[in-house]
Amino acid sequence: MGTEAEAADMFKCPVCNGNVKTGPDDVVITCTYCGSTSTIEGKAIGDHLMETAVDADERIQGFQAFLDKNKGMNKALAKTAKVVENRLIYVPLWTSKVKADSYYKGYKTVQVPVQKTRTVRDSDGKTRTETYTDYETGYVPVQDELHTDTDERLLARKGARFYGLEEYLATINLAKTVPYDFEKIKDLEPAMLNAEIGQEEYEKTVHGRVADRHRSQAASGLTELFDCRTTTNVRGTTYMQAPFSLIRYKFEGDLYKAAIDGNTGKVVLGEIPITRGQRIMWTLLGLIGIIVAGIGGEFFMGMGMGINVTPDPDTMQIIIGLAAMIIGIIMTFAGFRVLIMTERTKKG
């Protein structure tokens, strides 16, 4: 997580009296010896939640299944990829239920039908007056309400993010969490990240996030939003620790990574190598695409001036030429796009 170890301090655990290394912004500390969790002032967090985690072998199995599923032409990917890092990290979150009520005012524009008259001259040169309908812009005042009651969660860290962490956090099912119990996970030797955001700061942040969401929703149906006032009731705020794993692996001398759901052992997001053979194949595809597009263009441009409404031979040649040109362009784009890529990113 960046350079947080550079300015590390020591915190004495109020439960076991152990010395715990902390970062300069840490406000909730998990003891690396006994697993107790408390604020930087030594006040116990009390009841909070966690997800249990699978061991390193199960994470490797999930990772290899991901590689095998996405190996493409590289049949030996899962067997030849060498894992060089497979660590389990418990990341801190705050969760709560947030009831929000918004009252807003604004206006929206509508097209209002207006009856008008005009003078017209007929084929005999005589004039007459006729009535017709025109449309003008009208303004309709809007005064409405929004009411929501949602589960909110926030990563309790201010610093850098791990690869795939946001995707992982979005998959957490709060219904599957259990009361925090360090004894259930200590044999896995996880790295326990401390929180840099406390409960009070979290509740202020989540209020602003929900209020912004309401404001955006209100404004989406209006031409202009004049006022939007939101009140929130944050309740059931709970500290939670969730297992995340980042696997790094080598393949043909290059380093790749995959984000793992530590609770299930399945890959959330991962990088798949593009081999030399694949690059050659896609390059050839791009070159063939250039040829196909060129031939198709010759057909299309050469016959294009003679298009008829009936499907005569010339028209069919034009259609074939246009189709070949489009297919060739797609092949060229796809081929050279893969050529400049270093890897593909796949979701688990």
Q: What is the pLDDT of residue 116?
A: 87
Percent of the chain with pLDDT over 90: 53
Q: What is the pLDDT of residue 309?
A: 40
Q: What is the mean pLDDT of residues 205-215?
A: 96
Residue 4: band (very low, low, confident or very high) from pLDDT cuts 50, 70, 90? very low
CB 304 within 8 A of CB 318: yes
pLDDT in tens, 72-127: 777 888 888 999 999 999 999 999 999 999 999 999 998 888 888 888 888 777 88
**Is pLDDT above 70 for 321?**
no
Contacts 24+ apart (CB under 8 A), 171-174: 171/261, 171/268, 172/51, 172/93, 172/242, 174/49, 174/95, 174/240
- 198 contact partners, CB below 8 Å, separation of at least 6: 27, 28, 39
Q: Are strands 191-192 and 343-347 parallel, antiparallel or unpaired?
A: unpaired
Instruction: Provide the token pair at 185.
Output: 């996970």
pLDDT in tens, 140-187: 999 999 999 999 999 999 876 789 999 999 889 888 899 999 999 999
What whole-number distance in Å separates Cα of residue 283 and Cα of residue 337? 9
Q: What is the pLDDT of residue 255?
A: 92
Q: What is the pTM of this model?
A: 0.73
**Is pLDDT above 70 for 6?**
no
Q: What is the pLDDT of residue 31?
A: 92
Annotated domain spans of the chain: 277-347
Residue 3: band (very low, low, confident or very high) from pLDDT cuts 50, 70, 90? very low
Percent of the chain with pLDDT over 70: 81
The residue among 44, 46, 7 whose CA lies nearest residue 26 is 7
**Is pLDDT above 70 for 277?**
no
What whole-number distance in Å separates Cα of residue 1 and Cα of residue 23? 10
Indicate the angle between helix axes 276-303 and 313-340, nearest 10 degrees: 150
Torsion angle of the four alpha carbons 59, 63, 69, 71, in this order, in degrees rounded to the nearest 10: -160
Q: What is the mean pLDDT of residues 55-83?
A: 89
CB 79 within 8 A of CB 245: no
Instruction: Provide the token pair at 75.
Output: 């049949």
- 190 contact partners, CB below 8 Å, separation of at least 6: 53, 88, 89, 90, 243
**Is pLDDT above 90 for 281?**
no
Average pLDDT of the chain to the nearest whole number: 85
Q: What is the pLDDT of residue 129?
A: 87
Q: What is the mean pLDDT of residues 50-54?
A: 96
Contacts 24+ apart (CB under 8 A), 179-185: 179/47, 179/48, 179/49, 179/50, 180/37, 180/47, 180/48, 180/49, 180/50, 180/241, 181/50, 182/34, 182/35, 182/36, 183/35, 184/52, 185/50, 185/52, 185/53, 185/90, 185/243
Instruction: Provide the token pair at 336.
Output: 């050279």
Q: What is the pLDDT of residue 244?
A: 96
